[in-house]
Chains A and B, each alone.
Chain A
Amino acid sequence: KAGVTQTPRYLIKTRGQQVTLSCSPISGHRSVSWYQQTPGQGLQFLFEYFSETQRNKGNFPGRFSGRQFSNSRSEMNVSTLELGDSALYLCASSRPGLAGVRQETQYFGPGTRLLVL
């Protein structure tokens, strides 16, 4: 099985612009979570999508948004970029669990490194 893929791998933007990152989960995985990693704040949860619905959300401003498509692929968008948005953005997918049982292991993609100038 192919792993989680993220595109693009590297991105340079300027302040005020917007950016869209893409994540393709492992085939059969329906949950996609997004994380931001910075040297100062570490790894922080952004949001999670399951069956095209946002199920969980972290403490990030509304400039950060996402969506999930019917094929489980997900995109996240950051509008009005700030210098502090420079980070490695990671997505992770997990399998659907049995009824009432959530899956435990998340599989991470290689990340998209965003630099905001």
Chain B
Amino acid sequence: SQQGEEDPQALSIQEGENATMNCSYKTSINNLQWYRQNSGRGLVHLILIRSNEREKHSGRLRVTLDTSKKSSSLLITASRAADTASYFCATAPIDGFGNEKLTFGTGTRLTIIP
């Protein structure tokens, strides 16, 4: 079953604009990660935020985490055509089994219009 729900399911923006996608999850987590997937290929790890962190930056990526609302957001600034992909949030259980058993959200399909 899906732990996370992403919103929106699909997003189209002009190149250069910012893209924001949201993820909600259901249970307590150890950390939350964001991954990118291009055209049905493998996933690429983008950023990880731990449950005791509220915000994290990596290049043009900014992630926030609100554990009280069980939600996270991913902001991509100054979007580029190469950012066109599906983006997934993934949560690691707090049961001590580590991050080898990720639960993924439903994904947001981002399209950057040149």
Chain B 1-33 near chain A by CB (<8 Å), digits 1 or 0 = 110000000000000000000000000000101
CA–CA, A44 and B103, complex, Å: 7
* 0/1 interface trace, chain B 81-114, chain A, CB 8 Å (1 if under): 0000000101010000111111111110000000
Report the interface size for chain B: residues with CB under 8 A from the other chain: 26
B59 within 8 A of A: no
Which size bracket describes the interface of A in this complex?
20 to 34
Instruction: Please name the 10 residue pairs, one residue from A and one from B, whose CB atoms are nearest each other, closest first.
Output: A102-B98, A43-B104, A108-B42, A108-B43, A48-B100, A56-B101, A110-B42, A104-B99, A33-B100, A31-B100
Residues of B near any A CB (own CB < 8 A): 1-2, 31, 33, 35, 40-45, 48, 88, 90, 92, 97-107
* A residues in contact (CB < 8 Å) with B: 4, 31, 33, 35, 37, 42-45, 48, 50, 55-56, 58-59, 88, 90, 92, 94, 97, 102-111, 113
